[in-house]
Amino acid sequence: MRILVTGGAGFIGSHLCERLLTEGHSVIAMDNLITGSVDNIAHLSGRDDFLFIQHNVANYIYFPKVVHAVLHLASPASPSQTSPTGYLQLPIQTLKAGALGTLNALGVAKTHGARFMLASTSEVYGDPLEHPQEESYWGHVDPVGPRSVYDEAKRFAEAMTMAYHRTHGVDTRIARIFNTYGPRMALDDGRVVPNFIGQALRGEPLTVYGNGAQTRSFCYVDDLIEGLYRLLSADEHMPVNLGNPQEITMREFAAVINDLSGNSAGTCLDGDRTSGDPERRQPDIERAKRLLEWEPRVSLTDGLELTLTYFRERLAMAA
């Protein structure tokens, strides 16, 4: 297949491009580099089966060759209050990527009769009142809170995807991705994994926001990519959660990273959490297990070791 990957120069997008190429597909990565980097796909450039197009998907997408699938990942993804690439600093761009970008990406899929997959998010559940989160849960989102620029854009994107499926018969998929980490996350994007690892490798205390009792469940990127690839091949149009159900508090998570990296600087309880920062998050992955025969395989410590190695190399190169 010829596959268009929007957000292809980002963290997850670049891994997905690589996997699609390995499976023998040809790939067009489309990205405006607002939070991604050509460094993530530099090793793919020059291949006959890979093309990079710098383009903002909020603007009309013109691609003359036939494409057989469109995988729509383009969107800022970090909720950081301070990073310039966090969606709180890019509110309009984030809403446009989720709304206009999804509309344009669906338009390409409709025109070409292509399969479509949306990278949605656990944030559609907001600060959830049900735990763990099943796909049937409608969520708890403040439509005018700061995080709404991301959450509501993704909820709109899901609604638009289902409308194109129901109205135009587009062969769509919706992946609800839970916290995923690994090599090629941007060191400065402000999410907890690059923040903690960067601080640990610099020998600084890890900044745990709030009291650190809030939880997340972290999935290593290789596991996620396997899930996305299986979903692309499956005949399922309703949303499917993809993530690792192993839940951990941010205080415990900081301790694991300090331990693995040998950082003795400890942690500091630092500042406010963003308004709407979910208290608990854990995917229910029974659907993915049943439909895709998929579940994560990489343990938290193995995944973090691989990620630490990557960030050590990045920091050494920058020094």
Catalytic center residues: 150
The SS3 assignment for 2 reads: strand
Tokens 């530099």 locate to 42
- 26 belongs to the binding site for ligand UDP (CB under 6 A): no
Residue owning tokens 């854990």: 282
8 A C-beta contact, residue 81 and residue 139 = no
For residue 190, what are the CA distances in angstroms to 106, 124, 304? Answer: 30, 20, 17
| Of residues 79-98, those binding ligand NAD (CB under 6 A) | 97
Rounded to whole angstroms, how far apart are CA atoms 282 and 248?
A: 9
Closer residue to ligand NAD (CB): 72 or 263? 72
Q: Does 208 bind ligand NAD (CB under 6 A)?
A: no
Residues binding ligand NAD: what is the number (CB under 6 A)?
28
Residue 79 binds which of ligand NAD, ligand UDP, none (CB < 5-8 A, kind-dependent): ligand UDP
The listed partner (ligand NAD, ligand UDP, none) that binds 74, CB under 5 to 8 Å by sort, is ligand NAD
Alpha carbons 115 and 25: distance in angstroms, whole number: 14
CB 88 within 8 A of CB 94: no
Residue 177 contact, options ligand NAD, ligand UDP, none, Cβ 5-8 Å cut-off depending on partner type: ligand NAD
Maximal C-alpha separation, the chain: 57
Stretch that binds ligand NAD, among 41-49, 71-79, 158-166, 268-276 (CB under 6 A): 71-79
Contact 186, 37 (CB under 8 A): yes
57: tokens are 């998907």
Could you say whether residue 207 binds ligand UDP (CB under 6 A)?
Answer: yes
Q: Is 153 in the site for ligand NAD (CB under 6 A)?
A: no
Q: For residue 10, which of 63, 66, 77 has the smallest C-alpha distance?
A: 77
Residue 16 CB, nearest approach to ligand UDP (Å): 19
Among 195, 241, 244, 261, binds ligand UDP (CB under 6 A): 195
Q: How far apart are CA 38 and CA 10, in angstroms?
A: 8
Q: Which is nearer to ligand NAD, 175 or 263 (CB)?
A: 175
- Report the interface residues with ligand UDP, using CB under 6 A: 78-80, 179, 191-192, 195, 207-209, 214, 216, 250, 273, 277
- Report the interface residues with ligand NAD, using CB under 6 A: 6-7, 9-13, 31-36, 56-58, 73-77, 97, 101, 119, 121, 177, 179-180
